[in-house]
Chains A and B, each alone.
Chain A
């Protein structure tokens, strides 16, 4: 290895990692090139170490980098039989490969197919395959699973921060320096410091959370929402109420997440006034693509009742907007502002329930 072109490798790694969702910008790229110039990447091992220190931000990422590096090396050492396919490879597949046989030749990974299938694939539509789908696990690493964080805990805490209705009704113990100085200049002598009352957040929040069934995969996020609202938000603890329901908020909702202690829905509605923010978390049938008349009717009835109490209502849907189409979620999204559960959607939902945003037009493009 007389002439080891580190800069070239840095560029390739940068592109590859960027595609994998690493947190990198042009500054970081330049920093790496600077380090290469300063002699921090004289051989391959040093280069990997440099990139691990500079571009990885957890032990997990540092481990993954080794795999990615080996991949990248493997690709260049291969004879260039299929240059087009190699080009495709820089973009890692965002989803695990689809199990349908007919699609296989389109996959960017040429060599395992060449081993497995000798007959060229039939152009006509084949019946569904019985064999287990081919899944190139080693290439995928842990990333697709790791990346499933539509809404991180941190963004939740950030979001809740904006839900404020400060009222100065706490203890009168906050020193007001400008007012004190003002009073000294007014009177010509100093008498006493000026104190203000502590401000307290009087915003009230009702969280309505769909539990079980199609919401099962999202329990973790629902739990985080509840925990952050209660513990890590500026909201007063007694002003956060959480209720659970299954599929549809019917005549009763529940106080616990196991749905064992019911509360009449009237009682919940009675506690809402026009300053109560209500956030509903449910897939509204979008997860399984349901569109049941009964479900829509019951939910509509509930929403109309709720809208008589407060207009600060938003709906957080853990399914992507594109999946709402054709399901009951689409219909409900015309009744109440519905947002998909990611960072943007959550902050928009918060804007709605704190009453600063007009509900956006439903059915927007993704």
Chain B
């Protein structure tokens, strides 16, 4: 176990400001995130053992935000890598702009100055998320590989060779090696939603696994609301602060949301982020906040739902409720 692994510990503190001595690439803004005990253990295990933490779970339950929250609290540089269907494992290491170099050679022939010097092959190499993380030598960094299953089938397997000892790779075009300091191996978070079935066995074996669940009880949702508004207000100007919804509206919306989510027989269940948007709409969209009494009383009886467009995203679900005004 490395030295850094012993000292670093993620505690899920409600930090408002960047910790002192945070790296310049660490997230600037705090992330409203409530961490359960179990998730905390999983994160700390990932830090201690330096194995990637694979996060699965319903969409909108905070898989992606976790990495940022960890990086913010520990003041570590944060390098997100959003996977697309055309992403290749090498993109995470570096991208080499061979065409740009050829272009610059031509420009120089025409006796104009080019932005970069084509005689220097290093100038055309741009590091990807993992490359940047490997280059930081004074502390570990946090790498987020978001939605890994969007990529090609071989992608996770290709990635494995980089995410394991000896933690280094070669830039073919320049011949240089990029290696992580063995003391400060990056902390890797990977999110997946099983779009294309299971990930390959060899890949799974290396990962730690945590399933991010939707908050089970209303208390937890309430904490999320409070924290969310707190952080949001931190980032706003003094004259633009948001007032959190009244206690009764909070309570009613949580109650109604949970009943719709758990008993409504929905095809696609809304997540935490949808809930927060919906609550914001209830509070601010009309001139007056939506009546809490109506939300759990009359509306529920008549099977009506205000602002359903924020919660129901599939046609079948849409039919189950009538819009309320």
Is A56 part of the contact surface with B, judged by Cβ < 8 Å? Answer: yes
Give chain A residues whose Cβ lies under 8 Å from the Cβ of B56. 58
Indicate if the CB atoms of B45 and A35 lie closer than 8 Å.
Answer: yes
Q: Which of B122-130, B193-201, B253-261, B283-291 contacts A (4 or more CB under 8 A)?
A: B193-201
B197 touches A53 (CB 8 A): no
Is residue A23 within 8 Å, beta carbon to beta carbon, of the partner chain? yes
A50 touches B49 (CB 8 A): no
On whether the beta carbons of A184 and B102 are closer than 8 Å, the reply is yes
- Whether A50 and B41, one on each chain, are in contact in the complex, defined by CB atoms closer than 8 angstroms, is yes
A residues 176-194 near B (Cβ < 8 Å) are: 177, 180-181, 184, 189-190
Number of interface residues of B (CB under 8 A): 31
User: In the complex, are the beta carbons of B205 and A25 less than 8 A apart?
Assistant: yes
Q: A24-B205, A180-B102, A190-B106 are in contact. Are A154 and B45 (CB under 8 A)?
A: no
Tell me the smallest distance from the CB of A216 to a CB of chain B, in Å.
Answer: 24
A side interface size, CB within 8 A: 35
Given contacts A34-B1, A49-B41, A53-B45, contact A153 B197 (CB under 8 A): yes
Residues of B within 8 A of A50 (CB): 41, 45
Complex interface residues of chain A between 59 and 87 (CB less than 8 A to chain B): 59, 62
* A28 interfacial contact with B, CB 8 Å: yes
The reply to whether A28 and B205 form a contact with Cβ atoms under 8 Å apart is yes
Determine whether the beta carbon of B41 is less than 8 Å from that of A23: no
Query: Closest CB of chain A to B225's CB: distance in Å?
Result: 27
Taking CB atoms, residues of chain A closer than 8 Å to B198 are 58, 152, 154
Q: Is B51 an interface residue (CB 8 A)?
A: yes
Contact with A along B36-51 (1 / 0, CB 8 A): 0010011011001101
Closest A residue to B209 by CB, please name it: A57
- Specify which chain B residues have a CB less than 8 angstroms from the CB of A114 in the assembled complex: none
Q: How far is the CB of B291 from chain A (nearest CB, A)?
A: 39
A157 on the interface (CB 8 Å rule)?
Answer: yes
Does chain A have a CB within 8 A of B15? no
Q: In the assembled complex, how far is the CB of residue B205 from the closest CB belonging to chain A, in whole angstroms?
A: 4
User: B88 contacts which chain A residues (CB < 8 A)?
Assistant: none
Cβ of A31 under 8 Å from chain B = yes
Cβ-based interface call for B204 (8 A): yes
Within 8 Å CB of A59, what residues of B? Answer: 211
State how many angstroms separate the Cβ of A37 from the closest Cβ of chain B: 8
Question: When each residue 10-52 of chain A gets 1 if its CB lies under 8 Å from chain B and 0 otherwise, what string results?
Answer: 0000000000000111011001001101101000001001101
B234 at the interface (CB under 8 A from A): no
- A54 near B201: Cβ-Cβ < 8 Å: no
Within 8 Å of chain A (Cβ to Cβ): is B266? no
Q: Is the CB of B41 within 8 A of A53?
A: yes
| Cα A59 to Cα B210 with chains together (Å) | 8
The 8 A CB mask of B4-47 against A (1 = contact, 0 = none) is 00100000000000000000000000000000001001101100
| B99 on the A face (CB < 8 A) | yes
A158 part of interface (Cβ distance < 8 Å): yes
> Roughly how many angstroms separate A28 CA and B205 CA in the complex, as a whole number?
8
Q: Mark A205-248, 1 if CB is under 8 A from B, else 0.
A: 00000000000000000000000000000000000000000000
Which of B42, B201, B205, B206 makes the CB contact (< 8 A) with A53? Answer: B42
Q: Are A34 and B48 in contact (CB under 8 A)?
A: yes
B153 at the A/B interface (Cβ < 8 Å)?
yes
A23 lies within 8 A of B48 (CB):
no
The answer to whether B209 and A177 have CB atoms under 8 Å apart is no
Given A23-B204, A56-B209, does the pair A181, B102 have CB atoms closer than 8 Å? yes
Given contacts A49-B38, A177-B98, are A31 and B211 in contact (CB under 8 A)?
Answer: no
Q: Is B208 an interface residue (CB 8 A)?
A: yes
B204 x A157 contact (CB < 8 A): no
Q: Which of A53, A56, A158, A161 has the most CB of B within 10 A?
A: A53
Chain A residues with CB under 8 Å of B208's CB are 53-54
Determine the chain A residues whose CB is within 8 A of the CB of B210 once the complex forms: 53
CB-based contact B45/A40 at 8 Å: yes
Q: Check A40 against B48 for contact (C-beta < 8 Å).
A: yes
- Check A31–B49 contact: CB distance below 8 A: yes
Most A CB atoms within 10 A — which of B45, B48, B99, B198? B45
Q: Are B209 and A58 in contact (CB under 8 A)?
A: yes
Q: How far is the CA of A56 from the CA of B205 in the complex (A)?
A: 9
- Which residues of chain A are within 8 angstroms of B109 by Cβ–Cβ distance? 189-190
Chain A residues with Cβ under 8 A from B153's Cβ?
Answer: 154, 157-158, 161
Residues 263-303 of A, flagged 1 when their CB comes within 8 A of B and 0 if not, give: 00000000000000000000000000000000000000000
The reply to whether A62 and B211 contact each other, CB–CB distance below 8 Å, is yes
Whether, in the assembled complex, B207 has its beta carbon less than 8 Å from a beta carbon of chain A, the answer is yes
User: Which of A24, A27, A154 touches B200 (beta carbons < 8 Å)?
Assistant: A154
Min CB–CB distance B156 → chain A (angstroms): 11
Cα–Cα distance between A184 and B103 once the two chains are bound (Å): 12
Q: Which of A25, A40, A53, A161 contacts B209 (CB 8 A)?
A: A53
The chain A residue sitting closest to B51, CB to CB, is: A31
Q: Write the nearest CB–CB distance from B33 to chain A, whole angstroms.
A: 19
Set of chain B residues within 8 Å of A54, measured between Cβ atoms: 45, 49, 208
Residues of B contacting A158 in the complex (Cβ-Cβ under 8 angstroms): 153
CB distance from B197 to the nearest CB of A (A): 5
What residue in chain A is nearest B53 (Cβ atoms)?
A53
In the assembled complex, the Cα of A168 lies from the Cα of B237 at a distance in Å of 60
* Complex A-B, nearest 5 residue pairs according to Cβ-Cβ distance, in ascending order: A57-B204, A23-B205, A53-B42, A57-B209, A31-B49
Contacts A/B (CB < 8 Å), 7 sampled? A23-B205, A34-B49, A52-B209, A53-B38, A56-B209, A154-B153, A181-B102
Q: Which residues of A contact B (CB under 8 A)?
A: 23-25, 27-28, 31, 34-35, 37-38, 40, 46, 49-50, 52-54, 56-59, 62, 152-154, 157-158, 161, 175, 177, 180-181, 184, 189-190
Contacts beyond the supplied A50-B45, A58-B198: 7 A-B pairs with Cβ under 8 Å: A25-B205, A27-B206, A34-B1, A35-B49, A37-B1, A154-B198, A177-B98
